[in-house]
Amino acid sequence: MSKPFPKPHTKAIIFEDKKLYACLASRPIAAGHCVVVWKKPVKDLRGLGRADYDHLMERVDEVRNAMLSGLNVKKVYLMYMDEANHVHWHLVPRYNEKGYDVFEHAPKKLKEYSLAEKIKEKLVLHL
């Protein structure tokens, strides 16, 4: 069984429901880097039922759209990596860079939370 992710700072949270939350990443590689985290301990996407998977991916899509608008970027990379043994997606905005250059940035500890509000303002949920 996977361990739950540490709870994010309340100012970092963009959206939360009984199944998941979306927030600014605690160690972003780009300004506005977000994560969408499944609350229950599930090691891999294959461990989610179809309805839960659909719920997760709908929220990922909605957060990505809010990031595109709220951060004024043209691209947001979606990354699912299961090395943490806990279902979560990374949503990384690409600013004026070429290709995958954003992934060469060193993560830094999140200290400023204003981008969460900018993204939250643009969030449109289809519940």
Residue by residue, DSSP assigns 93-125 as EE-S--TTGGGGSPP------HHHHHHHHH---
Q: What is the pLDDT of residue 82?
A: 77
Q: Work out the angle at residue 89's Cα, subtended by the Cα atoms of residues 84 and 92, and round it to the nearest 5 degrees.
A: 115
Kindly give the confidence (pLDDT) of every residue in the chain, 127 residues in length, as a single tens digit, with 9 standing for 90 and above. 455 567 899 999 999 999 999 999 999 999 999 999 999 999 999 999 999 999 999 999 999 999 999 999 999 999 998 788 999 999 999 987 777 788 888 999 999 999 999 999 999 998 8
Q: What pTM did the predictor assign?
A: 0.93
Strand order in the sheet with 20-24: 13-16, 20-24, 34-38, 88-94, 75-80
Task: Say which CATH class 10-122 falls into.
Answer: alpha beta
Rounded distance between C-alpha atoms, residue 61 and residue 66, angstroms: 9
Q: Where in the chain are the domains?
A: 10-122
